[in-house]
Amino acid sequence: MALEHAILISLSERAASGLELTRRFDKSIGFFWSATHQQIYRVLARMEKDGWITSTVVAQQGRPDKKVYVFSADGHAALAQWLAEPTPNSPLRSELALKMRGASNADHREAVLDVVRTNLADHQTRLGFYEQLCKQDYPAPDSLSGRELDQYLVLRGGIRMEQGWIEWLTEYLAAHESRTTSKDTA
């Protein structure tokens, strides 16, 4: 039940409508907690029913009305309680690791190597994106504090994770390429 709390955190930074929240989940918060608009609308309805948030219909120029949500005292309390709760470390869940394990059982070696290469390239792209974001938005990390410091540190985590993946997949490919079969040299 973390989506409720993700929404509370986002609303605590600034009030928003369902669609605006969806857009935020495509960006910063979405880098470590994604959600579709269907999920968000569903949870917003439940949260309002539970009294965590309240909505106001806001008319717009040249656009349909939107429902802007703000969070209530109850929502604030719920968030505070959740923040203090221990969070179990989510175990690694990787289809790619599964495929690595499956590759040894038959002649699927090359197919899996290709999959790994594709994913490695994707991780490298994402790392580059994160690093650029980091350099642009936080040129002087040592002087950060408050919300900006936390946002920076979370981004650092994304960078470290991507680096970990890249190192792992690189090691995987190197190990298999150094044991190349004769087929490859033909």
Partner DNA sequence: CGACGCATGTAACCTGTTACATGATTGG
Partner DNA sequence: CCAATCATGTAACAGGTTACATGCGTCG
Binding site for DNA (CB under 7 A): 1-3, 17-20, 34-39, 41-42, 44-45, 60-67
Nearer to a copy of itself, 32 or 65 (CB): 32
Nearer to DNA, 8 or 138 (CB): 8
Select from 106, 105, 104, 107 the least CA-distant residue to 175: 104
Return the residue of 51, 80, 132, 177 that touches a copy of itself, per CB under 8 A.
80
Q: How many other CB atoms are there within 10 angstroms of residue 21's CB atom?
A: 22
- 155-184 residues near a copy of itself, rule: CB under 8 A: 156-158, 160-161, 163-165, 167-168, 171-172, 175-176, 179
Tokens standing for 161?
A: 């994770």
As a whole number of angstroms, the distance between CA 77 and CA 25 comes to 23
Confirm or reject binding of residue 140 to a copy of itself (CB under 8 A): no
How many residues does the structure list for the chain? 186
Helix (H) / strand (E) element for 63: namely: strand 63-71
Return the residue of 90, 136, 182, 185 that touches a copy of itself, per CB under 8 A.
90
